[in-house]
Structure 1
């Protein structure tokens, strides 16, 4: 699945990759924007989008990867939940936003 987010005049394209050699159900993320791209998937959507934004704009701004991808939008999380045993939850308390991606 791919999502495009427009930040500061640029399209950031995040690709969600399901599974890797060690864990077939874990999600990993690729990102590209202009000439910046990664070839090795990252296990953190937050780190992926933040790293690219910081490299391009030389700033320390951080982003919430799940919100950038759109995990809070039903049409997106329904696609990602196919054949997944746990459903992530997004809680918006106005002052703070909470994303629950697993239970211990």
Structure 2
């Protein structure tokens, strides 16, 4: 039986909720849905992706910071993700956290490794989730 890798993620900034975005026509894009089983029932919990939210995770002894911004390459009302590590960063705002971290990691380490962006942002970490609600 294998144990799933769980990175150590640090919340640097919680960010802010902007009502016109988080409760507007694109609201489904601004929330992370976490599904749990409680007493045999599926429970869904919603957590906001907040503008300015920043998390840090260490990969191969190198810090990676993921930041949420307003706007991506498709629409200024949708969220975007930007990743940086030391002096390197994404060349453009990405549409999702997986692309943001994986594309930068690929450029730095010359590998095709892909990561779950929400995992590396701590969206399964109860301590982080309790701070952003």
TM range (shorter): 0.5 to 0.7
**CA offset at residue 35 of structure 1?**
2.0
| Bigger Rg over Cα | 2
* TM-score (ref. length: structure 2): 0.51
Closer, same or farther: CA 45–11 of 1 in aligned 2, 3 Å? same
After TM superposition, where is structure 1 displaced by more than 4 Å over at least 4 residues in a row? none
**CA offset at residue 50 of structure 1?**
0.4
SS at match of 1:52: helix
Q: Match for residue 87 of structure 1?
A: none
Closer, same or farther: CA 62–44 of 1 in aligned 2, 3 Å? same
1:69 is aligned, of 110, 114, 121, to 121
Q: Match for residue 52 of structure 1?
A: 104
Q: Match for residue 11 of structure 1?
A: 63
CA contact (8 A) 2:81 2:97 kept: yes
Q: Match for residue 86 of structure 2?
A: 34
* TM-score (ref. length: structure 1): 0.64
The alignment's C-alpha RMSD in Å is 2.1
**CA offset at residue 23 of structure 1?**
5.5
SS at match of 1:56: helix
Gaps of 5+ in 1: 83-104
Gaps of 5+ in 2: 1-52
Partners of 2:68 and 2:99 in 1: how far apart? 14
